[in-house]
Amino acid sequence: MARKINSNWLKQFSTPQWAKNPHLQTILPTILPTPSLALRRERMELADGDFIDLDWLDANEQPKRIVVAFHGLEGSSNSPYVKRLMKICIERNVCSVVHHHRGCSGENNRLARSYHSGETSDMQNTLLHLRSLNPDAHIDAVGYSIGGNALAKYLGEQKEASLVNRAVIVSAPLQLSACAQRLEGGFSSIYQRRLIKLLQRKTTEKLTNPKLRDVMPLDPDQVKQLKTFYDFDDKVTAPLHGFADVHDYYAQCSGLQFLTSITIPTLIIHAADDPFMTDEVIPKPEQLSKHVTYELYPRGGHVGFISGGSPFRPKFFLEDRIADYLEL
* Strands 266-271 vs 292-297: parallel, antiparallel or unpaired: parallel
Interatomic CA distance for residues 98 and 273, integer angstroms: 27
Is 188 labeled as catalytic in the residue annotation?
Answer: no
Is 302 labeled as catalytic in the residue annotation?
Answer: yes
Q: What is the DSSP string of 224-268?
A: HT--SHHHHIIIIIHHHTT-SSHHHHHHHH-GGGGGGG--S-EEE
Interatomic CA distance for residues 321 and 5, integer angstroms: 12
Tell me which of 100, 116, 291, 302 is the catalytic residue. Answer: 302
Residue 152 class from Cβ within 10 Å (0-12 exposed, 13-18 middle, 19+ buried)? buried
Interatomic CA distance for residues 218 and 51, integer angstroms: 24
Tell me which of 77, 79, 114, 145 is the catalytic residue. Answer: 145
Tell me which of 55, 122, 140, 274 is the catalytic residue. Answer: 274
Is 145 labeled as catalytic in the residue annotation?
Answer: yes
- Residues with Cβ < 8 Å from 178, sequence gap 6 or more? 277, 278, 280, 281
Angle at 28 between CA 23 and CA 32, to 5 degrees: 170
Interatomic CA distance for residues 205 and 298, integer angstroms: 41
Interatomic CA distance for residues 39 and 86, integer angstroms: 10
Interatomic CA distance for residues 225 and 240, integer angstroms: 18
Active site residues: 145, 274, 302
